[in-house]
Amino acid sequence: MNAIDLHVHSTYSDGTLTPAELLKLAEERGLSAFALTDHDATKGLDEILALSADSPVEVVPGIEITSAIPGKDIHILGYYINYHRPELQEFLKDLIWKREDRNRKMCERLHDAGLSITYDALLASVTPNTILTRMHFARFLYNAGEVSSLNEAFSRYLGDRCPTYVHREKVLPEDAVRIIRKVGGVPVLAHPILYGFSDDKLDRLVASLKDAGLAGIEAVYSTYQGADERQIRALAKKYDLLLTGGSDFHGSNKPHIQLGTGMGKLFIPEEFLDGIKAEYLKNYKESEAFSSEVSSTGKEKAESEPSVTSGTNVNSGKRGLLCFDMDGSLLDDTKQIMPATRKALEQAIKNGYAFSISTGRPLASIKKIIDMLDLRKYNPCISAFNGGCLYDPEKEEILYKDVLPKDVSEKIREMIRKEGLHFHTYTSTEVISERDTEELHYYSEYVKMPCRVCDDVLKEEPCPFKFIIMHMTDKEKLERLQQTILACFSDSVQCIFSNNIFLEVIPKTSGKGVALYKMCELYGIAFEKSYAFADQDNDISMLLAAAHGVALVNGSHNAKEAADYITFKDNNHDGLVPFLNALL
């Protein structure tokens, strides 16, 4: 069994190794996984998750939140947090402001005590975006020759009882537990032995945190003795908590602590991470559905739309609706469904879940794709054109359609022409454009549909399902046009990116979120039993509409911000499998 390490810090808080250096070291040490848990900071997570996509080492997105009870800091670890969620980032901004205020005041006290330190000098000594901690103060004083060791810096100037130390306003540990739960994470009490509490006081703390939603406790830690570990394991058993463990690695700031092995004898088994994943997936499976009102997590039900064709309830009594985006989500980068993903999907369908596809692709393209991938046998309901068309492949029937108004289409076309950008729309069988461009041929190959150049696309399709505007290299130019279109027509259209080179214009009343509600109606499934799996900005309405929105870890920042949960792995590594299996 390989070792893991669930408590690691980078240069984004008070560690001395960058995320890239941590990943390299973990690979060299033969770890199977580690958690990046910087203090009150998530800035390193995007970087390290991108780097780890093809690494044998799994990286767990985490955090260590600094909270306090009277007279003592209490640290709460959070694993598999959806760190893009606005509520977490606002929570952290408040913590950082309080920390910054404390740091300025402490620099003033240290300077008044005769030490050569200022706040600006301290900031200049660290990597940009670093969350300043007392370790940075200690390192600065040591490098300035003010103290002979880091320990002296703490004992003389930075300790809780030193006259130059400034306490800062902090959150309660129960609040830290709640915010981690709120963003889908698994909250764990860090290094409880270090707090120096009596057995009774520690028991009361754990009981209070358990009531707030605590899921685990750090039972294996670099400085624990055998009796310490036995005490924490007993507490975990008493309060039904997961066991976790970590080195609390900080690089050269704690040179006696090594990644994965702590002080030399530390071993954290992989089964600890299995328990955390199981808890995360349990929350995903059992989480409360969102009402039609805006919930505390910011989810919002789409506005009601006209019903789909009457009498089309094709499969009532289903356990739930599984709604998949295709590219970057259900499909890997070779446009195939990986064998383990297909097996999990088939099992979910056998167990009573309805299967639906929601894509920005034109209907002709997705019909061809489902045949190429042998998906027709699962009788999926198809949403094409980003929710503009619902199609039943078994009956070969369009159940619902929504198109751009003719007058709006004409005005938007003139805007696009003025910018000299490629755009196209569709007939029932072709991609049609007014210019023969590199973008046209790229898109034709991408969707496996023939293309044709014509003089006037709106003469052939006066009310199109959508426009796609493209530029192969200049997303900023597309973004500028996006803002121009929305400034004039936000009441009539949505203008969204489906990837970095496709800017889509669709009806305001359309969208994947609207399609999800319509598919729930079609199947006779309460929306509380809807699950969405997606990765891009044009999927946001679907992720928000679903009771359970899951973004692929390879997804866009905005998609992950909208989701309730994020997969452990990407679309090329069966990222959907644990989430499908959790429903069985």
Which CATH number is 4-85+171-283 given?
Answer: 3.20.20.140
CB 555 within 8 A of CB 534: yes
Q: What angle do CA 280, 54, 358 make, to 5 degrees?
A: 60
Q: What is the pLDDT of residues 411-422, one digit of tens each?
A: 999 999 999 999
Would strands 389-392 and 381-384 be described as parallel, antiparallel, or unpaired? antiparallel
Name the 3-class secondary structure at 451: strand
455 pLDDT band (50/70/90 cuts)?
Answer: very high
Q: HEC string of 474-539? A: CHHHHHHHHHHHHHHHCCCEEEEEEECCEEEEEECCCCHHHHHHHHHHHHCCCHHHEEEEECCHHH
CB 456 within 8 A of CB 434: yes
> Would the pLDDT of 387 be above 70?
yes
For residues 30-36, give the mean pLDDT: 98
> Would the pLDDT of 477 be above 60?
yes
> Would the pLDDT of 301 be above 50?
no
Quick one: pLDDT at residue 522? 87
Quick one: pLDDT at residue 308? 45
CB 344 within 8 A of CB 281: no
Please state, for a pLDDT cut of 70, what percent of the chain lies above it: 95
Quick one: pLDDT at residue 132? 84
Quick one: pLDDT at residue 309? 43
> Would the pLDDT of 290 be above 50?
no
Domains 320-402+510-581 and 406-507 share a fold: no
374 phi-psi bin (left φ>0, alpha ψ -120 to 50, beta other): left
Averaged confidence pLDDT in the chain:
92
Please state, for a pLDDT cut of 90, what percent of the chain lies above it: 86
Q: What is the pLDDT of residues 110-119, one digit of tens each?
A: 999 999 999 9
At the topology level, CATH places domain 406-507 in 3.30.1240
For residues 41-48, give the mean pLDDT: 95
Q: What is the pLDDT of residues 422-442, one digit of tens each?
A: 999 999 999 999 999 999 999
Q: What is the pLDDT of residues 531-582, one digit of tens each?
A: 999 999 999 999 999 999 999 999 999 999 999 999 999 999 999 999 999 9
129 pLDDT band (50/70/90 cuts)?
Answer: confident
Quick one: pLDDT at residue 316? 54
> Would the pLDDT of 460 be above 90?
yes
Where in the chain are the domains?
4-85+171-283, 90-158, 320-402+510-581, 406-507
pTM of the model: 0.84
From CA 422, how far away is CA 438, in angstroms rounded? 9
Quick one: pLDDT at residue 329? 97
CATH label, 90-158, candidates 1.10.150, 1.10.3470, 2.40.50, 3.40.1350: 1.10.150
For residues 334-358, give the mean pLDDT: 97
Quick one: pLDDT at residue 291? 34
287 pLDDT band (50/70/90 cuts)?
Answer: low
Quick one: pLDDT at residue 161? 83
One-letter amino acid at 216 equals G
221 pLDDT band (50/70/90 cuts)?
Answer: very high
CATH label, 320-402+510-581, candidates 3.40.50.2300, 3.40.50.150, 1.10.3720.10, 3.40.50.1000: 3.40.50.1000
The Cβ-side half-sphere exposure at 445, using a 13 Å CA radius, reads 5
For residues 362-367, give the mean pLDDT: 94
Quick one: pLDDT at residue 302? 41
